[in-house]
Structure 1
Amino acid sequence: MGVCKKLVSSFSYSWKKKRDLAEAQKQLKLPEHSLKTECPTRWGSRQAMIDRVLEQHKAIAQVLSSDRKLRHLTLSWQDIDVLEAINKSLSPLVEFTDALSGEKYISVSFLKPTLHLFRNSILEVQEDDTDLVKSIKQKIVDYLNDKYSDPETQELLDMASALDPRFKFKYVNKDNRGSIEDRLTAEMKTMSADVTEDAAAAATPKKKKGLGSFFKVTTDKAAGPPLQQDQAITFELQSYLQTETLDAEEDPLKWWKESQRIYPRLSNLARKYLCIPATSSSSERVFSTSGNIVSCLRSSLKPDHVNRLVFLAKNL
């Protein structure tokens, strides 16, 4: 990787090297692409750099062969084998990292299905894999398993997946389904109480009591409503779980909006969990935007002005 970075930087800072590379690409009939530089804050940039170097390594070798100072950067067959192993292991993950970094659609409920797909398909060891490829794949799987091994994180991902009508309990461990149903039921009860309190708080001002209110007979209904509410919550949850799952390409937010009257409590829970971003990319983008705004020439901006400018930059 060190040789690869030095190789790319030597072409990035020399217009002569870029010119010679373009001529070599025409001679070798290679795509006329420029080399890519790795960016530490951009996901997938290392794989993109490696992929471009492998694509252009013949043209690069031809350019470096005429330069005595940089001839030592020419990739050997061992270097190419290592880069190909890294590229083969990382290239299938690029699309998933890009998809999970989105902001305008639900992403948190995709984590469980994506992890399942990684373990059982994409990162599964193949017969034609080299020892290095097998090692890289196993390291990635071990890292993901360790990263999401926390019970609270697993419970949150299970809740998000269960509230997505495209997946429900499909990717939830069978041993955890009972506890997830219990938590759904408990949170539906809590949310019902909160909705009732909000409705009472937003009610119209109290009217002046009439004489009839003093003769109104109050009955004890404490035993009835809780049981009815429990039955309604159980029926709502079981009815949702028994409905057909949506196609993976359909929009769950649209489905919840259309089904809000049928599942009022679950729709509120879905709003609570499905708004969680799967990655920290959205906040990193805000930091990058603020870094572009608060430059050396604008270092005297007040915090309120910075907040407004960042808000406008992200929402216009």
Structure 2
Amino acid sequence: MLNNAVLGTIQLKGSHTSENIAAELKATQTKWNFPTPIATTDNAANERKAYEINKWERFGCLGHKINLVVKNSLGVSELGKLLGKARKMVTFFHQSSSITDLFLEKQKVIFSGQSEQEQLIGHKLIIDVVTRWNSILYMLQRLNEQFPVLMALANDPSLTKHASTTMKNCIFTFEEQTVIENLVSLLDPFEKATTIFCADKTPTMHKVLPITTKLLRIIEISEEDIPVVRRVKEKMQEELNRRATSDKITLLGCIMNPFTKNLDFVPDQRESAYSYLREEVFSNFMEVDIKKEKCNDERTCAKDCEPESPNVETELTEEGKRKIASPQIIGQPCKKIKSADTEEWLDDVVCTGQSVINQGSVAEIELQRYLGTKIAEGDQVLSVLEWWKKHECFFPRISKIAKKYLSIPGSSVSSERVFSLCGQIVNKKRCRLCPKNVDLLVSLNKNMAYW
């Protein structure tokens, strides 16, 4: 798969038009001799168009999708006043060191002597950042956590008139505090989901469908929801259903996880997923190496021969299940490989002719065996990659599909981290580093753990 960091670097060059991005992508593929890639990018229109031009598959970063879902959902009018008060409160503390000192003193008075709350002493208020939705969650969590301290400080007679007025205008009422508590509980699962699929060293594509299903269940509207939270949930449902729809890559990534291959949590999509898998298996089953032997000067020499693709006819039954007809293998008879302990005297018997193997039947059997295999209790301690390493020999064709789709990251966070690292390396005091040295430093930082 084409590395996301490479894709991001390509997009920084020259114009950002779709045609230029597509040309840069194609040139990079040719230069590095990449196979046809499936890459994860953000959801910008010019990037989507660039992949359409090159006729490459792409997956829209789930991190960007969730960011847009949450930001658009928090834009409802009912929350504008609350978030405005929260930002004004935090900004006031950041601009006044004396108020911050009083805030820390109140923490010691209120939280001291309580083992569970002593760890809250020293926590400062957090301001949100426009480009990161989870910073809104962190800001609200900290305000919710420090609400008793803020209430005590707002009624402190030692405050100046200006500070007292600002605090009383920005402090949440008890009704608003209830809204904040409910909002924090609603946003917390989105933060957990973001943390899961932003992993660098473990596959994440097989988790995309379970994560989106989990989030859809969490934002189901309940009769107990207060009006503001109900409005936010409605907006979240609308955004998530529009942006995080299941596609071929998502379904194949999930079905390549042997622990979730039955798709019990989304039974309505099971038939589509199995259809995609069947197409992949039968379009790639000839990639499994077949050893043949050719005769040269009356001496046997083993050589790999790529057989011609068999003619496989498919038809769709009334039930919508795909059946594979008996394939006809096309090719000239050639010498076969013999074992090392087979005498030459038997060459005319075992090393001539051609065995006709119904590759379609073999692939279908492997497919059915994979879908029907139960997970052993001892395999529960294995990760997805460890399971495939252990069982690869039993599913040679499907394991190739697993490598293809499990290697696709669920988000483009890895490349964003590379850009952040470059910004830390190239600073005002190190502004004359040549590009080659920057590349080496970034490569060392990202790969030292593997050496």
Q: Give the TM-score, by structure 2 length.
A: 0.60
**Structure 2 unaligned runs (5+)?**
1-82, 112-116, 301-327, 332-353
In 2: Cα distance, 1:113 partner to 1:186 partner: 23
Structure 1 residue 113 corresponds to structure 2 residue 210: yes
8 Å contact 1:28–1:59 — kept in the other structure? yes
* Paired position in structure 1 for 2:277: 184
The code of the aligned residue for 2:435 comes to P
Deviation sequence 1:173-215 (CA, Å, 0-9, x none): 5554444334323323443434549x89xx9xx98x21579xx
Corresponding residue pairs, total: 300
CA distance change for structure 1 residues 221 and 277 in 2, over 3 Å: closer, same or farther? closer
**Structure 1 unaligned runs (5+)?**
214-219
8 Å contact 1:293–1:306 — kept in the other structure? yes
Alignment of 1:20-31 (within 5 A): 20-29=102-111, 31=120
The code of the aligned residue for 1:137 comes to K
8 Å contact 2:288–2:397 — kept in the other structure? no
CA distance change for structure 1 residues 108 and 248 in 2, over 3 Å: closer, same or farther? farther
In 1: Cα distance, 2:187 partner to 2:285 partner: 46
Query: 1:266 Cα deviation (Å)?
Result: 0.9
The code of the aligned residue for 1:107 comes to T
Aligned match for 1:7, one of 89, 95, 116: 89
In 2: Cα distance, 1:83 partner to 1:119 partner: 21
Aligned match for 2:129, one of 29, 39, 45: 39
Structure 1 residue 164 corresponds to structure 2 residue 257: yes
The code of the aligned residue for 1:53 comes to L
The code of the aligned residue for 1:262 comes to F
In 2: Cα distance, 1:225 partner to 1:13 partner: 82
Structure 1 residue 244 corresponds to structure 2 residue 351: no
Structure 1 residue 126 corresponds to structure 2 residue 217: no
Query: 1:43 Cα deviation (Å)?
Result: 5.3
* Paired position in structure 2 for 1:216: none
Query: 1:171 Cα deviation (Å)?
Result: 4.9
Aligned match for 1:273, one of 396, 405, 408: 405
Alignment of 1:148-297 (within 5 A): 148-149=244-245, 154-171=247-264, 174=267, 176-196=269-289, 209-211=296-298, 222=330, 228-245=358-375, 250-297=382-429
Q: Report the structure, 1 or 2, having the larger strand content.
A: 2
8 Å contact 2:219–2:237 — kept in the other structure? yes
CA distance change for structure 1 residues 286 and 249 in 2, over 3 Å: closer, same or farther? farther
- Could you say what secondary structure the match of 1:22 adopts? helix
In 1: Cα distance, 2:216 partner to 2:381 partner: 22
Deviation sequence 1:193-239 (CA, Å, 0-9, x none): 34549x89xx9xx98x21579xxxxxx96399786111111111110
CA distance change for structure 1 residues 127 and 174 in 2, over 3 Å: closer, same or farther? closer
Deviation sequence 1:225-280 (CA, Å, 0-9, x none): 78611111111111011112477774011000000100011111111101111122
Structure 1 residue 103 corresponds to structure 2 residue 190: no
- Could you say what secondary structure the match of 2:366 adopts? helix
Structure 1 residue 306 corresponds to structure 2 residue 438: yes
8 Å contact 1:86–1:133 — kept in the other structure? yes
* Paired position in structure 1 for 2:150: 60
In 2: Cα distance, 1:175 partner to 1:91 partner: 28
The code of the aligned residue for 1:28 comes to I
Q: Percent identity of the aligned residues?
A: 28
CA distance change for structure 1 residues 102 and 10 in 2, over 3 Å: closer, same or farther? same
CA distance change for structure 1 residues 128 and 183 in 2, over 3 Å: closer, same or farther? closer
Structure 1 residue 84 corresponds to structure 2 residue 181: yes
* Paired position in structure 1 for 2:304: none
8 Å contact 2:255–2:261 — kept in the other structure? yes
In 2: Cα distance, 1:175 partner to 1:23 partner: 57
Aligned match for 2:140, one of 40, 50, 53: 50
Q: Report the structure, 1 or 2, having the larger helix content.
A: 1
8 Å contact 2:189–2:215 — kept in the other structure? no
8 Å contact 2:151–2:171 — kept in the other structure? yes
Deviation sequence 1:103-144 (CA, Å, 0-9, x none): 122211111112222223x22223321011111122222211
8 Å contact 1:161–1:169 — kept in the other structure? no
CA distance change for structure 1 residues 248 and 123 in 2, over 3 Å: closer, same or farther? farther
Query: 1:79 Cα deviation (Å)?
Result: 4.1
* Paired position in structure 2 for 1:19: 101
CA distance change for structure 1 residues 283 and 67 in 2, over 3 Å: closer, same or farther? farther
* Paired position in structure 2 for 1:217: none
8 Å contact 2:212–2:244 — kept in the other structure? no
Query: 1:172 Cα deviation (Å)?
Result: 7.3
CA distance change for structure 1 residues 155 and 173 in 2, over 3 Å: closer, same or farther? farther
